[in-house]
Amino acid sequence: MKKYIAFLVVFAVFALAAYQDWNKGQDQEQVSSIQGLMEMFSIDDVKAAMQKQGVELIPSEFNYKWFKLGLKTEYSFDLNGKEQLYVYVFDSTAEVERGLKQINNQNALYDIAHTPTPFMAKNILIMYMRYLPIIGLEDKIQAAVDTLKTAPDKISDVADPNKPPIPFVSANNKKLPVNLGSYEWMGVLDAIFVWDQFVPRNKVIVPAESEITVKFEYEPYPNHLSYQQVTRDEIGDWKLSPNRTPFKGSFKAPKEKGIYAYIVYSYWNDSRSADYAFAVEIK
């Protein structure tokens, strides 16, 4: 009997150790997933980098259809009336090389007067269609791309230390646009979310019951997080759910189809607080 009890104790110790290793692995996997999302750039990042280098991007149509990859996130810009810049935003860095290969394969069937110059930064591919010898433009584009390559990976964006940090919110490996609302942070600001304007511009389509993750880089971390769901009622008015739901790091998107907005309330022990809004659509 004593041997049997001893065996159970040893087995329990090993089982606990194995579970801790597995759980640690799960945590590391989640951190890696978040870090992967942090590394991704958007078209707004590209525009900002180009603007800082004095490169004006004017939206235009693709002059050459064989440079289109069929992505929802591919963009064409005029630079000076004759030159163009094509920007492709991929979901991962691994897709960039495949995208460039696809472009090269498509272009092999055509006679291009001037070879396009590719630039790459993480999940971004840029094709510079150079037609005129504009001195310095290629250098400016390269400088803009270099700023993207050296940009620090970060979960939150604190542009002003006197304002609350903006959390990194994601669902189904997609970054969700986040809007800062009311806050008490080195002063007080009261703001009202205008849902009819905010939701259409910011909603992101995600699968039903996706895990919505809210992550702050700011230290100290908020001591309390809660959220409220915002939906349209029968007459089309936006209504808050009756209660705030506490959460730690993430919560589930709804199962039912529809458009859902959320307010996240964050509180710190030193009486600072901030509200944030984002929106998803379940199809």
Specify the CATH number for the domain of residue 117: 3.40.1000
The most confident of the ranges 118-127, 144-153, 180-189 is 118-127
Structure tokens at 271: 């009486």
* Structural domain harbouring 231: 168-282
Q: Give the per-residue pLDDT at 252.
A: 95
The answer to whether residues 98 and 198 belong to one domain is no
Q: What is the pLDDT of residues 146-175, one digit of tens each?
A: 888 766 544 344 445 677 888 999 998 888
Sign of CA dihedral 59, 61, 62, 63: negative
Question: What are the backbone dihedrals phi and psi of residue 31, each rounded to the nearest 5 degrees, phi first?
Answer: -65, -45
The answer to whether residues 120 and 177 belong to one domain is no
The answer to whether residues 59 and 107 belong to one domain is yes
The answer to whether residues 141 and 193 belong to one domain is no
Query: pLDDT at residue 25 above 80?
Result: no
* Per-residue pLDDT band at 229 (split at 50, 70, 90): very high
Alpha helices in the chain (DSSP H): 2-38, 43-52, 94-107, 137-149, 195-202
Q: Determine the straight-line distance between the first and last CA of the chain, rounded to whole angstroms.
A: 59
Q: Is residue 34 a part of any domain in this protein?
A: no
Counting residues of the chain whose pLDDT is more than 90, the rounded percentage is 27
The answer to whether residues 134 and 227 belong to one domain is no
Q: Measuring CA to CA, which residue among 231, 224, 229 is closest to residue 265?
A: 224
Task: Say what the pTM is.
Answer: 0.48
Of 97, 122, 149, which one is at a domain's C-terminal end?
Answer: 149
Q: Name the least confident of 44-58, 82-96, 106-120.
A: 106-120
The answer to whether residues 95 and 175 belong to one domain is no
Q: Is residue 82 a part of any domain in this protein?
A: yes
The answer to whether residues 123 and 200 belong to one domain is no
Q: Give the per-residue pLDDT at 36.
A: 41
Q: Is residue 161 a part of any domain in this protein?
A: no
The answer to whether residues 230 and 274 belong to one domain is yes
What total of structural domains would you count in the chain?
Answer: 2
CATH code where residue 211 lies: 2.60.40
* Per-residue pLDDT band at 39 (split at 50, 70, 90): low
Of 115, 149, 183, which one is at a domain's C-terminal end?
Answer: 149
The answer to whether residues 95 and 181 belong to one domain is no
CB 144 within 8 A of CB 150: no
* Cα-based distances in Å from 219 to 48, 164, 180, 254: 27, 11, 18, 31
Q: Give the per-residue pLDDT at 164.
A: 85
The answer to whether residues 175 and 277 belong to one domain is yes
Query: pLDDT at residue 6 above 50?
Result: no
Q: Give the per-residue pLDDT at 87.
A: 94
Q: Name the least confident of 95-104, 203-212, 261-270.
A: 95-104
The answer to whether residues 135 and 205 belong to one domain is no
* Per-residue pLDDT band at 3 (split at 50, 70, 90): very low
The answer to whether residues 175 and 272 belong to one domain is yes
